[in-house]
Structure 1
Amino acid sequence: MAEQLRSDGVEERKARGAFFTPPEIARFMVDWAVRSKDDAVLEPSCGEAAFLLPAAQRLHELGATRRAVGKQLHAGDIHHDSVAQAHQVLASEGFSAQIEVGDFFLKDSAANFDAVIGNPPYVRYQDFSGASRAASLQAALRQGVRLTQLASSWAAFTVHASAFLRPTGRLALVIPAELLSVKYAAQIRRFLLDRFASVRLVLFETLVFPGVLEDVVLLLAEGSGGAQSFEVFQARTAQDLATTLPKQWLKFEPAPDEKWTGALVSSDAYRLYDEAAAGEDFEAMSEWGATYLGAVTGHNDFFTLTQADVEQWKLPPSELVRISPPGARHLRGLSYSTHDWRAMAAAGERCLLFAPGAELSRAARRYIAHGETLGVPTGYKCRVRDPWWTVPMVAKPDLLMPYMNHERPRLVRNGAGVQVLNSLYGVKLKVSRKKLGQELLPLAMLNSLTLLGAEIVGRAYGGGLLKHEPKEASRLPLPSETVLAQVATPLKDVQKAVGALLARNDLPACVAIVDTIVLRQHLGWSEARLGAIREARVALMQRRLTRGKGKHGQD
């Protein structure tokens, strides 16, 4: 009946973040949250009774009279028509509820409920503004959660809804799967573990909301006092959910502020990944060396120079430093050589950095004066430097690492011995590991376990880009020093062939070669084990790319 009563169209519902919940999901969540005929139940964004009706039915089945249901069942919605239709849906089945029209974020919290259930409105931060947004941020702040300007509406809703629960109460919400991975949701992940005694998530292998590309998770949280872990159950479809709680849950114990991305892959695949990444055959990249951001010039157009610029200003070589040109499109292979650098310089790329010493040449003084006429010293980074034209340099890296990628992370040998700007990370290897790591890590990292790790520790940005902050990059699982030394000869034998395949952008062929040498032949992995890791990596990558098609920069 609810379907027949909807008066507004898809675009109108989408604008206010209303996506109606499949009945299998609503019933499953209600049966979990409502456990006694005396439970007081709140549905803060009732829509057209997708949760209210099964909640009324559940209370009645547990022994509550219809009159009692009308007193115990509370709801609200900002949309007048939805509230009217919710009343009609309940009345058609002989039930009633206390339903208010209004903005949930303006409702004073009172811990009077045994269960809070529902599907919060999902409005992305770009469209979530004005008084309602301000009220949402204040509501979250009252619970000790300071949300960023990138937070979508569901984040504050989840925090505010928790404030209505009794200490033993239960929270059952449908929320976006971005809870697990995006940066701004770190506060929500931390809040859930701090606030509740138990946090469980139900994930789906397929999209379960008709016509909606957003992945969702079912949040089932209860009790008070804090939890060290959360548990996950993976269902294939909404229809797979029985009315009883699943029995097999996978436990995760995340480090503080760590993303929960690993929960997006199958339980078996994550166990295999976790065992391998924590074992003696793999090490975090931090064991190989330090990862850091390149130098910040404050004004690339002034400080980075082409060969023609150098000739025009007659700048001497002593006041120039060779750099990897801004950007990362030229770093596709295993090595960036002196030949590569010279070719780019000859092609007019900005391959040199203006870096005069304490004693300035006459040409440098002229160029600095030119910069002053352009207003370069007034920029923030230049303004706080003394003198403004001295760019603080970082250690010359052994490996170059682009931190934004579509398909895979990249380590590139710094064969040209160039400096890096902040469009790249530098990796400075430990002295004892430098020769082995510089030569073979760019090749050895093209294995399926490292590539899966990149998806798990990284974060998705607009357009499906995969980004690694320095701390995240330092956690990439790489073959250990011992393993890499043991497979050095066969890897060197295929280095040229893999380089040629990378030039043709044939990553699967490259990964197959490295997997065979490192994982299959040396470590003795079975094809089934390797297949599970590969499938998990593809699943996370495809999820990221699919999400990127519909979002722009939300993280």
Structure 2
Amino acid sequence: MTETAPKNCMVNPRDFGKETSCAWKSSLTSAQLATADAQHRFSIAARKAIKSRYGSTQRYCSETNQNYQHLSRVLRGEVILTFGDIATANEQLGISVELVGSERKDGGSHISVMSSTRNSLGAFYTPDDVAACLVRELSLSRDSSVLEPSFGDGAFLKALKRERISVDKICGCEIDPSACESALSTELLSSSMLFHGSFFDFDLDKKFDAVVGNPPFVRIRTLSPNDAVKVIEQTNKRLGSPIGEESSLWLPFLVKAGEHVKNSGGLAFVLPQDFTYLRYAKSAWEYLATHFGSIRLIRVKERIFKSIMQDVVLLVAKQKGKSTDQICFSCFDRIDHYLNGKSERRTVVSLDDILNDRRPFQRALIDNSVLAVLEGSSILTPSCREASFHIGYVSGNKKFFHPTTEQIEEFSIPHTSLVDTVVSSRQLTGVGYSTSQYDSPGKLWLPNSEPSEVDRQYIHFGEALKVDTGYKCRTRKPWWIVPGIDRPDGILTVFGDTPKMLLNDGAWAISNSLLGAYCSNGINPRSFCSTWYSSVTRLSIEMQVHSLGGGMLVAVPREANRVVKLASSHYDPGLDIKINERILAGNIDEAYCTYNHAIENQYGADFIRAVQKATEELIAWRKH
């Protein structure tokens, strides 16, 4: 633990992560204070959520395959959160976090995680200039009536005031009492036009010429059970199709906001970039297209929220009461270009492409000549035509079902009850292209349905630890047999900047931290995995695979299945050695150039350069 650990920023480090009054050291810079205070608040929120849902941190770690010692240190403020912690906290606990990247003195970098009371409400406050520009998009008059459904720090209210919209025409909703007091004291709202409470309790009969705002980005499941049910039922009724608790709160916010817009009116919202590709967002796109005659989506490469790694887009929908099947997509490199109306890249995106998962907003950033080859080449193919990607098994208790060498010896667990496996992508560090060259990095305990006496002793050991009462274990019969154990033909890493494909000729099983490629009949696994490594595949990964805030790619099966690669028929056995050498040397980008010659022979060197340029462009948009 170093002096820069978050807890060491406190006068009394024992106060970190506890709901007590605390004092910070006076010597801290503003950045150090903001980061440490934010992780302190995140720890408080995480502890609450863990206690409520899992009872203990140990059970939470067991059921979500996390390292208990590491997470305990995170919650105590001894270390800073990792990307893995961030992803799991968001998925399992519904906690939205802000990421801040900063440079170390040694030239490396670290990731700090920031959270606060407003973040627990899903509030990322909009910069004043962006709010002002969005308001101007709606071409309001002084007599226009406007609703802000979650006004927060008042950025949109200030913008409306600067546009000389009468305060008597502006209505605002907000759940945070301090924000309500501030809006009244600064005369951004009149008391008669302020609704202190949930937007979902706001009278639907009230209509406005425009609705503007930045809705919460948290998951619906973070609400109380009663509120979650109410929000889901209201939204399902408006959409005519079901949403679930895994959906984010911005979706029902957007749909209800649309219901408050008068005919011929419009709305302008800040939304997460996820809106452009998430499956559950399709219903929102359909709603907008059937209720508004003009839809514009704006994306800026430069980060709009300077202090956080949350990618956003700006939505402007006009002409309520009409419909459209086209979306105008505008791209700007810098915020000031958008604010000042400078040149933009403008593309028309079809609703059909959005609804059919063609990733049109990514495609719009790529030259049409490159797209034409990717989609019409006889030597390229979507991965799904040669293999199918699936996520690995879920053990239910990472520590118990993956015994250490010492535990295997202590319980004399027979080798017949152990399966070679990879538990996490970290275990693949230093592993080359072919798994048969190495001993498996882990063991999965998988006894027969009629366990031996030794296995029964290990079962009793697990029951003493209450492993059998964990969520996944208690729902399966018998609890101690992990289902879904397969040996994929290829292993694809899930988290990272550049996914790595390994030929699984060592027949290792994989946990749910990795994806497995299962080749179709007639497709040789060696051919499939080797021809994965071309610049075309690398570009297609950028097109298809989504990223977390901060730019880390996170591959899921349906995305991996759509990745375009060189057809396996172009396999050259002599190139396996080159791929292996490049992977072992840490030159994964070079590995992805291995089969470029086969594509260059067909389309020329200029095409390869265009593919690599397009990849660099998408990476810049992902990371900016």
Post-superposition CA distance 1:26-67 (Å, at most 9, x none): 56544542378985544553547443246447xxxxxxxxxx
The correspondence of residues 124-139 of structure 1 with structure 2, limited to 5 A, is none
Aligned-partner SS, 2:537: helix
Q: Normalised by the size of structure 2, how large is the TM-score?
A: 0.65
Alignment check: 8 A CA contact 1:177 1:215 kept: yes
Q: Is the 8 A contact 1:326 1:423 kept in 2?
A: yes
> Which residue number corresponds to residue 209 of structure 2?
114
> C-alpha offsets along residues 188-227 of structure 1, whole Å, 9 cap, x if unaligned?
4454345434432011122346666544322111334655
> C-alpha displacement at 1:108, in angstroms?
0.9
> Structure 1 residues 529, 461: CA separation in 2 closer, same or farther (over 3 Å shift)?
closer
- Equivalent residue, structure 2, for 1:457: 544
Alignment match, 2:423: 326
What is the CA–CA distance in structure 1 between the aligned matches of 2:156 and 2:511, rounded to whole Å? 54
SS in 1 for 2:425: coil
What is the Cα deviation at residue 493 of structure 1? Answer: 3.6
- Distance in 2 between the 1:331 and 1:385 partners? 30
Q: Which amino acid letter does the alignment assign opposite residue 51 of structure 1?
A: A
Letter paired with 2:603? L
Q: Answer whether contact 1:296 1:421 (CA < 8 A) is retained.
A: yes
Is the counterpart of residue 171 in structure 1 residue 171 in structure 2? Answer: no
| CA distance in 1 between partners of 2:343 and 2:261 (Å) | 21
Please say which of residues 460-469 and 410-419 is displaced more in the overlay: 460-469
The amino acid across from 2:483 in the alignment is P
**Residues 46-57 of structure 1 correspond to what in structure 2 (within 5 A)?**
47=155, 49-53=157-161, 55-56=163-164
Offset from partner CA, 1:253-280 (integer Å, 9 cap, x none): 4567667865257x35164564344223
Residue in 1 that maps onto 2:390: 292
Quote how far apart the aligned CAs of 1:307 are: 5.7
Shift of the 513–369 alpha-carbon distance from structure 1 to 2, 3 Å rule, reads closer
Quote the Cα distance in structure 2 between the aligned partners of 1:334 and 1:442. 13
- Alpha-carbon offset, residue 528 of structure 1: 5.0
Query: Partner of 1:232: helix, strand, or coil?
Result: strand
- Structure 1 pair 381–430 and aligned structure 2 pair: CA distance change class (3 A): same
Deviation of the 1:413 alpha carbon: 0.8
Cα distance, 1:234 vs structure 2: 0.7
Equivalent-residue separation in structure 2 for 1:432 and 1:376 (angstroms): 42
CA deviation map 1:91-129 (0-9, x unaligned): xxxxx998536447142123633333x332556569986
User: Within 5 Å, which residues of 2 pair with 1:430-441?
Assistant: 430-434=520-524, 438-441=525-528
Q: Using a 3 Å threshold, how does the CA distance of structure 1 residues 225 and 320 change in structure 2: closer, same or farther?
A: farther
Q: 1:463 to 1:389 in 2, by over 3 A?
A: same
Kept after mapping to 2: 8 A contact 1:208/1:238:
yes
Query: 1:75, 1:97 within 8 Å by CA — same for their partners in 2?
Result: no
Query: Deviation of residue 81 (structure 1)?
Result: 3.4
Q: TM-score normalized by structure 1?
A: 0.72
Aligned AA for 1:418? W
Asked if structure 2 preserves the Cα contact closer than 8 Å seen for 1:293 and 1:421, the reply is yes
Q: The residue matched to 2:617 in structure 1 has which SS?
A: helix
Q: Which residue matches 2:297?
A: 201
Give the direction of change, closer, same or farther, for the CA distance of 1:365–1:152 in structure 2 (3 Å limit): closer
5 Å-filtered alignment, 1:339-488, equals 339-341=437-439, 344=440, 350-351=442-443, 353-356=445-448, 358=450, 360-402=451-493, 404-434=494-524, 438-461=525-548, 464-481=551-568, 485-486=569-570, 488=571
| Structure 2 contact 354–360 (Cα < 8 Å) conserved | no
Q: SS state of the match for residue 240, structure 1? A: helix
The question of whether the paired residues in 2 share the 8 Å contact of 1:180 and 1:259 is answered with: no
Is the contact made by 2:582 and 2:591 (CA closer than 8 Å) also made in structure 1? yes
Native 8 Å contact 2:148 2:172 kept in 1: yes
> 1:473: Cα distance to partner?
2.0
Asked which structure has the greater RCO (Cα within 8 Å, sep 6+), the reply is 1
Q: 1:524 to 1:244 in 2, by over 3 A?
A: closer
Give the distance between the partners of 1:209 and 1:26, measured in 2 at CA: 12
Q: Which moved more, 1:372-381 or 1:501-510?
A: 372-381
CA distance in 2, matches of 1:70, 1:269: 45
Q: Is contact 2:402–2:443 with CA below 8 Å preserved after alignment?
A: yes
- Superposed CA deviations along residues 394-449 of structure 1, whole A, max 9, x for unmatched, are 443211223x2212222211111233343433222112112xxx224334323333
Structure 2 residue runs of 5 or longer lacking an equivalent are 1-33, 39-115, 175-179
- Name 1:510's counterpart in structure 2: 591
How far apart, CA to CA, are the structure 2 residues paired with 1:132 and 1:392? 34
What corresponds to 1:495 in structure 2? 576
Amino acid at match of 1:52: L
- Mapped contact 1:200–1:220 kept (Cα < 8 A): yes
Q: Supply the AA of the counterpart residue of 1:113.
A: F
Letter in structure 2 aligned against 1:400: I
Kept in 2, the 8 Å contact 1:331–1:412? The answer is no
Structure 2 residue 155 is the aligned partner of structure 1 residue 33? no
1:339-369: CA deviations, max 9, x gaps? Answer: 402xx5xxxx5335333265x5454455445
1: CA distance between counterparts of 2:390 and 2:312? 35
Distance in 1 of aligned mates of 2:472 and 2:306 = 49
The correspondence of residues 132-147 of structure 1 with structure 2, limited to 5 A, is 140=235, 143-144=238-239
Question: What's the counterpart of residue 66 of structure 1?
Answer: none
Q: Partner residue of 1:338?
A: 436
Structure 1 residues 303 and 163: CA distance shift in structure 2, 3 A: same
For the residues of structure 2 that align with 1:126 and 1:381, how far apart are their CA atoms? 23
Q: Contact 2:491–2:515 (CA<8 Å) still a contact in 1? A: yes
Matched, 1:82 2:177: no
From 302, 322, 333, give the equivalent of 1:236.
Answer: 333
- 1:287: Cα distance to partner? 0.8
C-alpha displacement of 1:327: 1.8
RMSD of the TM alignment (CA)? 4.4
The residue type equivalent to 1:411 in the other structure is M
1:141-193 alpha-carbon deviations (Å, 9 max, x no partner): 66348766576664443233211112433212233434335677566445434
Letter in 1 for 2:331: Q
The answer (yes or no) to whether the contact 1:399–1:428 under 8 Å persists in 2 is yes
Q: 1:259 touches 1:457 (CA, 8 Å); kept in 2? A: no
Query: Per the alignment, do residues 361 and 125 of structure 1 end up closer, same or farther by CA in structure 2, a change over 3 Å counting?
Result: closer
Q: Secondary structure at the match of 2:510?
A: coil
Does the aligned pair in 2 maintain the 1:451–1:537 contact within 8 Å?
no
| Structure 2 residue corresponding to 1:159, chosen from 236, 241, 255 | 255
Structure-2 residue corresponding to 1:3: none
